Amino acid sequence: MPHVSNGAEKSKILIVDDATENIDILYSLLKTDYRVSAAKSGVAGLKMAIQHQPDVILLDIMMPEMDGYEVCRIIKETEETKNIPVIFVTAKTQAMDEARAFSLGAVDYITKPFVPIVVKARVKTHIALKRKNDMLEELVSLDGLTNIFNRRKFDGQLVREWRKAQRQTESLSVIFIDIDHFKHFNDTYGHACGDECLQQVAAGLATRLKRPEDFIARYGGEEFVIILPRTDLEGVTHIGESLIETVWALGVPHETSETADVVTISAGAATTVPTPSTGSPIELVKYADKMLYESKKNGRNRLTAVSI
């Protein structure tokens, strides 16, 4: 199920600076209140930003090979990191340097030598703003009826997971799910009962997803979609079949179903190992949808899966 942070866990800060002395000073200043990690180059900083998803990045400007301006530009152009606040901490004190930093998307600009209490206050402020923005983003990403994620959130999540699987050369799977004969259910029991059915099915499906990275959304109407990172054909088949069993076990009566006397689902799954030269997230979705059609054609209340 979607989770909105309650603020109890420590926020994460990434320091990107080629000078060990600067890293040590900032680390000592912030380690009590935050989980602090550091990178000594722009390239390493970009990699860590994607992998660790810090709440704030403290970024130096003057670094060899790739300076802080370039790092900031890439951070703001990358889907996985574009919403992470960047605070420049630098010895460059000219107004034109500060203006350039803000034009690239930085949220603050601190000059060296800095005042420790001011750095702590600014970091605290930007982390608080980030948490509020994250909560708002998650709230607008929820389906109002089922309280799982919505289609809008799914579209963005699929792109992010595709890129991650591509970088790490790992399997990525998608399952499309449709409640069997749901129109008949609404016609028989009414739309209020139909809404309750959708809520029960959504909750049942969500309980079967055990890993934090597993993702479920309401795709529209009586359709649901699930993203399973690091899951191959065998894994997605096992999970898909357990989802079908879970919905059956809910025992929601459906006397006008042509499949069973309780609510059932049909599912289609597709899995692949994304590469830069083959396939796309849209293609993965299309194959999962085709497999859902096959499940319906072959009697419903079943899963059909394919590896592409």
Cβ distance 36 to 15 under 8 Å? yes
Among 222, 234, 241, 258, the active-site one is 222
- How is residue 221 written in tokens? 């109407």
Q: Which residue has the tokens 């990191």?
A: 81
SS3 165: helix
Nearest residue to 223 (alpha-carbon basis) of 272, 150, 142, 156: 150
Listed in sequence order, the residues at least 6 apart from 105 whose beta carbon sits closer than 8 Å to its beta carbon are 72, 73, 75, 76, 86
How many whole angstroms separate alpha carbon 233 and alpha carbon 74? 34
Cβ distance 69 to 100 under 8 Å? yes
**Burial of residue 299 (number of CB atoms within 10 Å: 0-12, 13-18, 19+):** exposed
Cα atoms in the 13 Å half-sphere on the side-chain side of 297 = 8
User: CA-CA-CA-CA torsion for 38, 168, 79, 31, nearest 10 degrees?
Assistant: -20
Q: Hey, which residues does 223 pair with through a beta bridge?
A: 178, 220
Q: What is the DSSP string of 193-248?
A: HHHHHHHHHHHHHHHT--STT-EEEEEETTEEEEEEET--HHHHHHHHHHHHHHHH
Element (H, E) at 173: strand 172-179
How many whole angstroms separate alpha carbon 143 and alpha carbon 56? 29
**Residue 222 catalytic?**
yes
Residues marked active site are found at 222
